[in-house]
Amino acid sequence: MHKDLILASTSPRRKALLTLAGIPFTIVPSPAEEPEPDFGELPAAYAARMARLKAAAVARAHPDAVVLGADSVVAVGDVILGKPRDAADAKRMLGLLSGRVHQVMTGCALFGLAAEPEVFTVATDVHMTPLSEDAIAAYVATGEPMDKAGAYAIQGKAAAFITEIHGSYTNVVGLPLAEVAALLRPRIAMSA
């Protein structure tokens, strides 16, 4: 029996990825609050907890659907970089990422596939080229980093900063599409 899929997110990137994969869905924004990480909480655990919170809030109102929640974080070691508060915070984050390898972790939670929710995290290593202060300032001035974890968008202008990735590209964009699609295929009617 096929169920309808609800994406518990207003992320245009997640919407575009699901559409690209031919996965039909509707959007119901999650009303869940996004608390700060707990003291000592590791990035993967935090991303998974946020995805579960977002999906659970929507699943309660839609018990007959499959609900997908997701949350992406950028991490340098165990330091979590969320969305920047302002331009200065974006510059700080990009300065921290400049010339380094960092991880993008996306927690995913699927409610409605089984009795218990399916919750997992996918991590991708990302290598960023060294950036000058002028390059960082020019990028921040575009406004692109302001609603992105880690203050950059790999599918946008920041693509020129990324020298290498190890793992899922779509995970860095915002949703590990291969992993999500593999879980959904048996239960969701896919488009051609």
For residue range 86-109, list pLDDT tens digits in order. 999 999 999 999 999 999 999 999
Q: What is the mean pLDDT of residues 122-127?
A: 98
- How confident is the model at residue 190, as a pLDDT? 60
- Assigned fold of 5-184: Maf protein (3.90.950)
Q: Enumerate the domain spans of the chain.
A: 5-184
User: Which of the residues 38, 64, 71, 86 is marked catalytic?
Assistant: 71
Our answer to whether residue 78 is catalytic in this structure is no
55 pLDDT above the threshold of 90:
yes
What's the Cα-to-Cα distance from 61 to each of 144, 165, 186, rounded to whole Å? Answer: 33, 38, 23
- How confident is the model at residue 3, as a pLDDT? 84
% pLDDT > 70, the chain: 96
Q: Average pLDDT, whole number, for the chain?
A: 94
Q: How far apart are CA 110 and CA 148, in angstroms?
A: 23
**Tokens 């590791």 -> residue:** 42
- How confident is the model at residue 173, as a pLDDT? 95
189 pLDDT above the threshold of 80:
no
32 pLDDT above the threshold of 60:
yes
Q: In b/e form, how buried is each residue of 152-163, taking b as 16+ CB within 10 angstroms? A: bbbeeebeebee
Q: For residue 70, list its beta bridge partners.
A: 108
Q: What is the mean pLDDT of residues 24-51?
A: 94
1 pLDDT above the threshold of 80:
no
